[in-house]
Structure 1
């Protein structure tokens, strides 16, 4: 049939399509039309036929008929949730006049909503990647299905059979939500559930449940009611894709309605004017026009815009206040470092933010300072702190110390806890577990500010803990964690949902934008997604930058003590190696299955158990077999503790993942006669404070044995040694252990000892720790350049590197590594290094020359800063110049030492630099600390003397051993 004959049906078909197909179906149909997915379009009488390519590998045959009852669509796709699927709608649009299609697209915002945001080449159906619209459709379909099949109790509060307000409860009656149905076709309905407000779909399972019941109850009347426009005009908020105010016209629009539509709305019925001006005017008109209704959602929408506006000016005002106060913030009784002042200003100014400083940099004190400042302004009255149980005692002490306020610590039985909540104290402290038990009491507390410490506890959004914590009603939220991203981007997503859900949007859109599929290895007969990779990390950094502040130790290194690390590699006994290899072999067998198909839950548990057995065997034989008493690690620990016992009053913290291992280690300390305490999950919360106080204050209590559960968030600067009885899979967990001791307030070098079983699963773990840190740094580092990283799912991703342990030859260092290790040992023992080759000599010269050039560049930058009128910042460049210069003259192998140790342990004893150099570096560090972040200007004579001395020192330095 000719095109003209097909288009003779245009008006009738499009009018019926507008009634019988929802906007979301039409949007997807427009997308199919735009991408040219309709083929073999033909017409026979009142019937149109075509083939449409969708998400299936084969196109769907579609037949569209126009009958006296409306449109009849016959499509081969499985979609049956609405009368017309997207394929049928696409065929109708393809057979219609382009101008009519454009009019329809403009009415529903199709040009914008139908835009395909999928990057070119991001994925195909073969790899399982779906377009943005296809994924969105799947998400809606999931909610439709859940609304149909999950048991819910629906009670009509007001209105009719279809339109009105309803109360929807789950089967257990624990949760109930208000649902308002305003339109059966356009997504302007509303639900009070959390999913509706963040999913950008315009629906949820509760809305779909109400609509499903209405369809069943009303039968054929439902379609008629759905198509019938009401006698009133309604101004509402559409929440599909992004919130926007729309006008739903009445069946017979009055002149006043048309006047409002023409003045404030575009041709598609979307608000086109500034909502700050337009919405108040529309609300004023609605009070005079009885058949014009403005939904409450519109007021909430406007309030959010005005709140965002005021927050911007409020943030600037608070930052100015804090900058003017310096380290003496309102209500704060302590002294803050400059970077801590910046952190407190960031938290107080933003109101809701994530502070992701490295462990040990004082996130607790920054949060307390910010909270006290907000209380002083009158912005905050009640603060709720949620933290691990082991940290409640510490938070209480810090609040009393810095704020002079006695906080209320929640503990005891239900009756006692209820009494404590009723105090409504300025600061209330509760642990994560009690948030679940006391959900209603916590909600009744109605805190103005919520502080989540060690917030990695909510990084898994699927857990009950994360769900309950995010339900706490608070206007402002401080999220504190040194490890916002431990293994997966999902970790960061869950944390930021607690801060500001709008930043990253719904999870499905987040996954689409920042995850990519990773195909299986070449050679498989059928390609399958092996895991998940990441993309668009540069965009992710831009999005989170306004609400995430992270400073690493390197940025404040001059305020932290130095850290010394020793790794002791221990050989397994034959029995332990046999146990270890059995576990690794079992894990490898299960992991091999994952290359062919997804693992079952039972297989995942078996995989975890096998890896656990291999790791336990590296610690002690009795952990896997009661009859095996072998444990090279406990033997080595005994030797370390015997040496430690002779070193006066020094204290150490010993960590293990397993309580039984910790208890066996503590028994070794008892045999030696070293006083100690033991902290693990079984120790009651009420006893932990006294236990930690004894370790800090009793000189005879030299050791603290702790599991990882006990190590989270503790401040243990009284110790100067950290002993790790094994390497955890997660690098963040290892950092947490060390940061308990190596943190602000530590006045001595921190000694870190790691016990590692040689040629075992632990050496594989050691290698994997470096790779695991890459994702963390690439997302959160300001200077990160990578935008794509590959990884593999969950546990398999973590263990794949360590399965190399099946090949014993892969673990001993190769010849070059052994030579380097021997050379380092010789240097440390004072032996003469072997003669270098000519190539090594030339490489040393180039390295030294590069360091000298860097030193002169830094000094030139310092002079430029002085010329620019900001001499206070020049001292940092002077320090960097001196550090580069002294590294240039350092012997090979020693240049990686921290600058102060390099000077005093190597360069000064060898006569390679003068004492003037050491004094100048120390002066540069102190002066930088005094003036670097201060508004005060240093004396001109001090600046010129420092620059002159640095310039003279560079001129006098020798070329260095590596350049000879």
Structure 2
């Protein structure tokens, strides 16, 4: 090694081997602590992980900040976000959501569930709802909130599984074994009770189920926390907040037991309900939908149509009165087929032919099949052409695939391009059909079965035609709700096509004259039907009245009786809705 290189390295080596600098003197208290830490055992890994988790939780925002908003597929209204914050912060996740109908209690509940799940507070969640709303709940939670769901069949077979979906169960199934035992076997993190007025009576099967379910978080959704008497309110609020209103006797002594309009110490009761109940009124949130305009086009049937319908009515009544035992011997299943045949005949006569053949009524089947294109269908084509010329898209509903299949070629023959939607399409095909109707200006018509009446948002369209009328008025409401919903900017026009002399004509008379159905806010119809009788089935009542009547005059009288019952239920609902102002302050504020 050259001398100059060695000389260059030497100083560096000498510096590296120099003695270390003297230690810095620590204050006595610090030194004592350092000695203790040095002598202590290493921290337990599990304890360290727990501390880390606690720090992570501590760092999360409080419930005044909603973490789930970025994941939503829509923009909730301010009052809905405010409700979620109030329930989570002040009511600690146990509340009665009592907004007026149509204001989105389902949205508020979905926001709350999203927050609880994102924070790891509600992995095991159960939603209990009337059977007709199960699929709607699943659709809302999955599409709008990106929350996984499972039906009770999957839950019964597999349990919750690793992805912990939200279980959505119908009330009717949940209150019966074996499902009841499965649902009540272990506590849930969160339970949602939709249409919760059905749960409040502790002596009913539904009320007993609600009291057997245990959960940390509980949401009870109802627009009518009081229906008949103040005891209703005590029973409902005591589910969410046991002891808040005292015992039933203490509550009656303080506030009475009559209706909400005669409550004693209303101010004191409002102060208590404010602790557990949130209620918004339409007037407070300024939520306005454009008007909906309903018209009924009564079509006079041709001679062959009128004769066919009269012959069919006579045959059904003969069976019901025991004058034709050929069908009655087959039992209730055939009586259900009679109802289906009557509904199909009111849609398009030819659509009823296959069902009539199965009943063995070949003469009626031949009559129906010979009516290839009834007067009502001509009226439909004229309507569609008129709206198409005005650049308006039209949603056409029928209850039956048989009718749909007959309409498709006739609409095409009229020079109109139509998208076709039915339940047999794959999910991708359904999406493509809706997209074509929405985006293609050359496709002004969507022909659909009831499938598009369930969960589809079609507010880009504002014209709807019912080729046939569902006998269940809730289905009429569901159809209309596809267009008349938040986001609709134009008046919604509904046209009901009805042949004179049919059952559908009498149904429309009752719905329009007795309860002003098409003027109701979305959701109010269910409140009214529920007040007629807990087990009231409008469709079954209509068919029973029709089949049991000797003639059309007697049928009309019986339909008027049904209408009077519904009118009384509507009046009771409106009185209850208005009297709620006595006991609820309306929108709660933070």
Superposition TM-score tier, normalisation by shorter sequence: 0.5 to 0.7
Aligned partner of residue 374 in structure 1, secondary structure: helix
The match for 1:428 is 148
Listed as ranges, the gaps of 5+ residues in structure 2 are 1-61, 215-226, 241-276, 353-367, 558-584
1:639 CA drift (Å):
0.7
Q: 1:340 to 1:441 in 2, by over 3 A?
A: same
1:690 CA drift (Å):
3.3
1:655 CA drift (Å):
1.5
The match for 2:502 is 760
1:475 CA drift (Å):
2.9
The match for 2:379 is 636
**Following superposition of structure 1 onto structure 2, how do residues 248-647 of structure 1 map, counting pairs within 5 Å?**
325=64, 329-333=66-70, 335-341=75-81, 344=84, 361-362=103-104, 365-381=107-123, 396-399=142-145, 407=146, 427-430=147-150, 432=151, 435-436=152-153, 439-445=156-162, 447=164, 450=166, 452=168, 459=172, 474-478=188-192, 539-540=231-232, 543-544=235-236, 558-589=287-318, 591-592=320-321, 602-624=330-352, 625-647=368-390
Q: 1:716 aligns with which of 433, 458, 461?
A: 458
Listed as ranges, the gaps of 5+ residues in structure 1 are 1-320, 400-406, 408-426, 504-534, 594-598, 813-872, 874-931, 937-964
1:429 CA drift (Å):
3.9
Higher RCO (Cα < 8 Å, 6 or more apart): 2
Given that residues 361 and 743 in structure 1 are in contact (C-alpha distance below 8 angstroms), is that contact kept between their aligned partners in structure 2? no
Distance in 1, matches of 2:369 and 2:431, equals: 34
Alpha-carbon RMSD: 5.2
Aligned partner of residue 444 in structure 2, secondary structure: strand
- For residues 29-67 of structure 1, the C-alpha deviation after alignment (integer angstroms, 9 at most, x for no partner) is xxxxxxxxxxxxxxxxxxxxxxxxxxxxxxxxxxxxxxx
- For residues 308-327 of structure 1, the C-alpha deviation after alignment (integer angstroms, 9 at most, x for no partner) is xxxxxxxxxxxxx87xx4xx
1:368 CA drift (Å):
3.2
Distance in 1, matches of 2:190 and 2:458, equals: 30
Confirm whether residue 727 of structure 1 aligns to residue 441 of structure 2.
Answer: no
Aligned partner of residue 667 in structure 1, secondary structure: helix
Distance in 1, matches of 2:374 and 2:177, equals: 39
Aligned partner of residue 615 in structure 1, secondary structure: helix
1:735 CA drift (Å):
0.7
Q: 1:739 aligns with which of 481, 494, 517?
A: 481
- For residues 782-808 of structure 1, the C-alpha deviation after alignment (integer angstroms, 9 at most, x for no partner) is xx9x99869878865343444569326
Distance in 2, matches of 1:498 and 1:342, equals: 30
1:760 CA drift (Å):
1.6
- For residues 624-650 of structure 1, the C-alpha deviation after alignment (integer angstroms, 9 at most, x for no partner) is 2333214222211101100111122x3
Confirm whether residue 693 of structure 1 aligns to residue 421 of structure 2.
Answer: no
Given that residues 149 and 166 in structure 2 are in contact (C-alpha distance below 8 angstroms), is that contact kept between their aligned partners in structure 1? no
1:616 CA drift (Å):
1.6
Given that residues 451 and 480 in structure 1 are in contact (C-alpha distance below 8 angstroms), is that contact kept between their aligned partners in structure 2? no
Report the number of matched residues: 416
1:689 CA drift (Å):
3.0
The match for 2:361 is none
Distance in 2, matches of 1:358 and 1:365, equals: 13
Given that residues 659 and 707 in structure 1 are in contact (C-alpha distance below 8 angstroms), is that contact kept between their aligned partners in structure 2? yes
Given that residues 116 and 122 in structure 2 are in contact (C-alpha distance below 8 angstroms), is that contact kept between their aligned partners in structure 1? yes
Given that residues 655 and 725 in structure 1 are in contact (C-alpha distance below 8 angstroms), is that contact kept between their aligned partners in structure 2? yes
Given that residues 469 and 496 in structure 2 are in contact (C-alpha distance below 8 angstroms), is that contact kept between their aligned partners in structure 1? yes
Aligned partner of residue 687 in structure 1, secondary structure: helix
Confirm whether residue 683 of structure 1 aligns to residue 454 of structure 2.
Answer: no
Distance in 1, matches of 2:235 and 2:329, equals: 35
Q: 1:550 to 1:725 in 2, by over 3 A?
A: farther
Aligned partner of residue 332 in structure 1, secondary structure: helix
- For residues 887-909 of structure 1, the C-alpha deviation after alignment (integer angstroms, 9 at most, x for no partner) is xxxxxxxxxxxxxxxxxxxxxxx
**Following superposition of structure 1 onto structure 2, how do residues 802-813 of structure 1 map, counting pairs within 5 Å?**
802=546, 806-807=551-552
TM (norm. structure 2) is 0.56
Distance in 2, matches of 1:689 and 1:794, equals: 33
Q: 1:558 to 1:644 in 2, by over 3 A?
A: same
Q: 1:788 to 1:398 in 2, by over 3 A?
A: closer
1:539 CA drift (Å):
4.8
Given that residues 358 and 550 in structure 1 are in contact (C-alpha distance below 8 angstroms), is that contact kept between their aligned partners in structure 2? yes
